[in-house]
Amino acid sequence: MTGRTDATLADGARRRASEVALYGLTPPIERAILAAVDAERPNQIRGLVRPLHPADVADLLSRLDPDRRRVVIEAIRGRFDPEILPYLDESVREDVFEALGTRDVAAALAELDSDDAVDLMTDLDEEERRRLLAAVPAAERVVLEQGLTYPESSAGRLMQREVVAVPSHWTVGQTIDFMRTQEELPEIFQELYVVSAGNHLDGVIPLSRLLRSKRPVRVADIMAGELHPVPPTTDQEEVAQMFRRYGLVSTPVVGDTGQLLGRITVDDVVDVIDEEAEEDLLKLGGVSESDITSSLLETARSRFVWLLVNLVTAFIAASVIGLFEDTIAQVVALAVLAPIVASMGGNAGTQSLTVAVRALAMREISRTNAMRVIVKEVALGVINGAIFGLVVGLVAWAWFGKPILGLVIGMALVLNLMAAGLAGMTIPLILERLGVDPAVASGVFLTTVTDVVGFFSFLGLATWLIL
């Protein structure tokens, strides 16, 4: 009976696995894996996980709690795909490394492309890195150690050492024969690099051009002279900008004397763009990418600082309200309407701030156009302030029966939205000039400006015009 049940489960697993091959980690498959984990059925777990793409397996491991994660790893240990590791979040990756053990992790690193292996080593502490390197085969160890000598977030850390390079005096026929017989070629490549003495980079040949050329033709005669090589110390954001600007699929990395060191491919650049965009977005909210997987105390600690800063700025805004305590006491409607002015300013400022942070990240703002962009945002603030000031002013007049109150809040909205546009655009520019990441600190300063200007302009105008 037991054998029959296992066979039925295996058949069901295979049917569901075929669905996974088409659709990835679907909710039914995820539930089936959880059920197999809780029932302690390693064969069923393997049957369900085997057809999954490495990215889907990484997603699955990230969603599981540590105990279930270890059960899955033990079930697939014998067929653990090294390609799973680069897709894991850093916090989950540490847990997976611990569950796999040094020997299995070292074996996985040796099978990965050099750029992925170096990236995985980057996030480890010195002791763990040294222990893993000692377990990696000598040839792969040398490559990893060389990669780790380059600065973090640089082209050197991003580049893949596995390239196809041929001498400039070879013919097309020799090159094709070489590729047919060589077993150590990269699994996927779109170009061949042409090198001369000392591995000096002379040019590049798209694979399509090579295959369309006749065998006796020298590779030097068909290579493309237009290259976009980068030094290994180039920041990865600059590399991403170059790929975006010139529509590159790959680019070579060269040393000081022009020697070919490796290549950077578009898939790695896409990861960089995603990481930078995600990092900026998370920083604007004062959170981190590990908040989903981190412990409760770690997450609370990481958010505490910015909440504390926001509390301090809130007291600054509250102190402005306190200056007009007597005015509010005489005209209670001001307490009802004041948050509208601050809220509208905050939202308008966030729009300008988002535009500014993105433009800085994409290198779309420079000294030549900065003033034009600032003036445009201020003008937008005036226009939107006038429109919404008119609307809110009419509503306030109808609500409280005081036309002067509508005039006050209308004028305050114009002033605050104008200040919001100015602050939202200039604060990131100033912070970048000071060497501070605009994505981290801009939001706090913007909120302070819009709250202070909003309350001060509204209550100040009320004191002047109503009392």
* Residues 6+ positions from 164 with CB-CB distance below 8 Å: 179, 185, 186, 189, 191, 192, 193
418 part of a folded domain: yes
Question: Does residue 272 share a domain with residue 240?
Answer: yes
DSSP conformational letter for 335:
H
Please give the tally of structural domains in the chain: 3
Tell me which residue of 190, 261, 185, 206 sits closest to 229, measured CA to CA.
261
214 and 137 housed in the same domain: no
**Pair 71, 214 in one domain:** no
The DSSP H or E segment spanning 202 is strand 200-206
Interhelix angle for 66-76 vs 54-63, to 10°?
150
User: Does 16 share its domain with 105?
Assistant: yes
Q: What are phi and psi of 265, to 5 degrees?
A: -110, 160
Residue 262 CB-density burial (10 A; 0-12 exposed, 13-18 middle, 19+ buried): buried
Question: Which DSSP letter does residue 253 get?
Answer: E
Using the 3D structure, point to which of 128, 153, 178 is the last residue of a domain: 153
- In a domain? residue 159: no
Task: Write out pLDDT tens, residues 89-115.
Answer: 877 888 999 999 999 999 999 999 888
Q: Verify that 318 and 217 share a domain, yes or no.
A: no
Rounded CA gap, 8 and 20, in Å?
18
Tell me if 289 is assigned to some domain.
no
- The DSSP code for 167 is E
Q: Which residues of the chain have pLDDT under 70?
A: 1-23, 277-296, 298-300, 302-303, 306-307, 440-441
Alpha carbon distance 61, 45 (integer Å): 13
Provide the token pair at 452.
Answer: 């202070």
123 and 33 in a common domain: yes
Question: Are residue 301 and residue 441 in the same domain, yes or no?
Answer: yes
C-beta separation of 144 from 136 below 8 A: yes
Q: Which structural domain range is residue 431 located in?
A: 295-465
Single residue among 232, 250, 281 that ends a domain in this structure: 281
Say if CB 161 and CB 116 are below 8 A apart. no
Inside any domain, residue 18: yes
Cβ count near 256 (within 10 Å): 8
Tokens coding 456: 């001060």
| pLDDT at residue number 278 | 67
Q: What is the per-residue pLDDT across 164-221, written as a single tens digit (0 to 9) for each?
A: 999 999 999 999 999 999 888 888 888 999 999 889 999 999 999 999 999 999 999 9
Say if residue 64 is in the same domain as residue 94.
yes
Residue 268 Cα distances to 32, 39, 119, 384, 388, angstroms: 33, 39, 11, 41, 45
C-alpha torsion sign, points 299, 304, 310, 311: positive
Last residue of a domain, one of 121, 153, 185: 153
Q: Are residues 79 and 170 in the same domain?
A: no
Assess if residue 287 is contained within a domain. Answer: no
Nearest to 439 by CA among 309, 209, 280: 280
Could you say which DSSP state residue 230 is in? B
Evaluate whether residue 384 is within a structural domain.
Answer: yes
- For the domain that residue 360 is a member of, what is the CATH number? 1.10.357.20
124 and 177 belong to one structural domain: no
Secondary structure letter of residue 151 according to DSSP:
P
pLDDT at 274: 76
CATH of the domain at 178: 3.10.580.10
313 and 401 co-located in one domain: yes
- Indicate whether 290 belongs to any domain: no
Inside any domain, residue 288: no
327 in Cβ contact with 463 (< 8 Å)? yes
Residues 65 and 190 in one domain: no
- Tokens standing for 168? 């400039």
Name which of 197, 195, 196 is nearest 205 in CA terms: 195
